[in-house]
Amino acid sequence: MPTWLIVLIVVVAVAVLGAVIWLVTQEMQRKRLQQRFGPEYDRTVAEKDSPRAAQRELAERERRHKELDIRPLSASARERYAREWAQVQEKFVDQPAAAVAEADQLLNSLMAERGYPTEGYEQQAADLSVRHAKTLEHYRAAHTTQQKRDGASTEDLREAMVRYRTVFEDLLTDGADDEQHHDHDGRRNGHDHDRAEQRDTDGRETDGHETERQASASPRTESNGGR
Q: Which residue has the higher pLDDT, 131 or 196?
A: 131
pLDDT, tens only, 13-38: 888 888 887 777 767 777 878 888 88
pLDDT, tens only, 179-189: 544 444 444 44
Do 62 and 103 sit in the same domain of this protein?
Answer: no
Residue 31 lies in a domain: yes
Number of domains in the chain: 2
| Contact present, 133 and 39 (Cβ < 8 Å) | yes
Q: Which domain holds residue 157?
A: 75-176
CA-to-CA dists, residue 77 to 27, 53, 83, angstroms = 42, 39, 10
pLDDT of residue 211: 40
Do 85 and 51 sit in the same domain of this protein?
Answer: no
Residue 137 lies in a domain: yes
For the chain, how far is it from start to end, CA to CA, in angstroms? 109
**Exposure string over 1-24, b if 16+ CB within 10 A, otherwise e:** eeeeeeeeeeeeeeeeeeeeeeee
Residue 198 lies in a domain: no
| Contact present, 139 and 125 (Cβ < 8 Å) | yes
Q: By percentage, how much of the chain surpasses pLDDT 90?
A: 50
| Contact present, 109 and 120 (Cβ < 8 Å) | no
Do 108 and 155 sit in the same domain of this protein?
Answer: yes
Q: Which of 19, 41, 67 is the last residue of a domain?
A: 67
The reply to whether the predicted model has a pTM over 0.85 is no
Statement: residue 208 has pLDDT above 90: no
The SS3 call for residue 199 is strand
pLDDT, tens only, 128-181: 999 999 999 999 999 999 998 788 999 999 999 999 999 999 999 986 555 544
pLDDT of residue 20: 80
pLDDT of residue 176: 57
CA-to-CA dists, residue 195 to 78, 95, 204, 208, angstroms = 33, 58, 11, 12
pLDDT of residue 13: 85
Task: Give the number of other CB atoms < 10 A from CB of residue 130.
Answer: 20
Do 124 and 168 sit in the same domain of this protein?
Answer: yes
Average pLDDT of every residue of the chain: 79
